[in-house]
Amino acid sequence: MATDITEIKQRIEHEQRIRRISGGLGILAVLLITGLGMTYLGFLLADLVRQFGTWINFIGAFLKPNFVDFTSYTHQHDIGGLRAIWISFTHPQYFVSTIANASVSSGSVLVSAAFVTVLVGFCGTVIGFPLALVFGILGSERVTPFPFNFIFRGAMSTIRAVPALVWVLIYIPLTGINPYGAVLAIATDTIGNLGRLFTDELEEIDNGPIEAIRSTGAKRPQVVIFGMLSQVSNSFIAWTLYVLEINTRIAVSLGVVGAGGLGMYINLRLQTVSSASYARAAAGLVMVVVIVVTVELLSSRIRARLRPGEHERSGFFETIRGLGDTGRWLGSGNKD
């Protein structure tokens, strides 16, 4: 018995030694590949050290965002800083006049640029949704028999392999680089991403409701609609809202290449090398954060209503109040 225990102990120690050596070799391999990769990319630490002071000055200019371009009124009367926000919110008509009169592709006023960004993400999602639904359903093996479902899966994979930033360039001969092209690029991207989520959701549904519908003599389309889609309708809406969040961020990125919105506003300000332009660009970044967080919070709350078991049940204002709970930040507070 003592011999067996000794052998087991030696075997465990041997396995632990092998794991430690393998882990060490793995870390060394990752570091070696990273070092070779950085060398191949031309990375030089001396360049970073030399440019660090310039970069700090650049970042310093972003610490005082100037909202002089918040609305058309503040832009025309040169009202900057946080006072521009206060005056605009105390006179709501400035928002309406800014959105109604601003050029869609100008990217010169923050409120109209933010409106264009949200509108591009929303319209792209809505236009892409029908085809995403069709491709997602036909890509499921439970609807379309193998291997024909792979035609639709392959199409969605191909679409997803091409970033929205490239799709907007592909649409240049059709629309040029503007908000219309951005909407088409996001709609195309939505077909691939949202369609694949729909397909995966259909693969996990229960067979019970499907068999029940079949036992009534229902035809194939009726089985799909009432036996399958009825099980995932809430999930489909929840995934669509999640993709809407992503598409809002993509709309900002497309603006950087000239498709309008907040991305275009920031890009135009950064093209002028001055502290004043950087302060305006910083205001644009603040607007990006506000827009993206707002869309994310609204989307999360709606998804929580649709799928309560998968999300926290605290409300919007409870979530905001929870940010001040230091116990939750430290992991010791109430998590309900």
Percent of the chain with pLDDT over 90: 30
Give pLDDT, residue 148: 84
Residue with tokens 């399958």, as numbered in its chain: 228
Which pLDDT does position 336 carry in this prediction?
44
Across 325-331, average pLDDT: 59
Structure tokens at 331: 């992991």
User: Would you say residue 60 has pLDDT above 80?
Assistant: yes
> In the prediction, which pLDDT does 73 show?
85
How far apart are the C-alpha atoms of 179 and 258, rounded to whole Å? Answer: 9
Q: pLDDT band at residue 224, thresholds of 50, 70 and 90?
A: confident
User: What is the mean predicted confidence (pLDDT) over 10-32?
Assistant: 92
Mean pLDDT of all residues in 307-316: 56
Per residue, what are the HEC states of 144-156? CCCCCHHHHHHHH
The average pLDDT across 158-169 equals 92
CB atoms within 10 A of CB 319: 13
For residue 312, pLDDT over 80 is answered with no
| pLDDT on residue 301 | 82
pLDDT digits (tens, 9 = 90+) for 22-49: 999 999 999 999 999 998 988 888 888 8
pTM of structure: 0.79
Please, what are the domains in the chain?
Answer: 103-307 (1.10.3720.10)
* Per-residue pLDDT tens over the stretch 267-300: 888 888 788 888 889 999 999 999 988 888 888 8
Residues 238-265: what's their mean pLDDT?
90
The whole-number pLDDT of residue 36 equals: 93
Sequence-distant (6+) residues with CB within 8 A of 76 are none
Mean pLDDT of 192-197: 92
Mean pLDDT of the chain: 84
- Give yes or no for a contact between 69 and 83, defined as CB atoms under 8 angstroms apart: no
Residue showing tokens 């993509």:
250
- Long-range contacts from 272-276, C-beta under 8 angstroms, 24+ separation: 275/61, 276/66
Top-confidence residue, 325 or 253 = 253
Token pair for 256: 């950087």
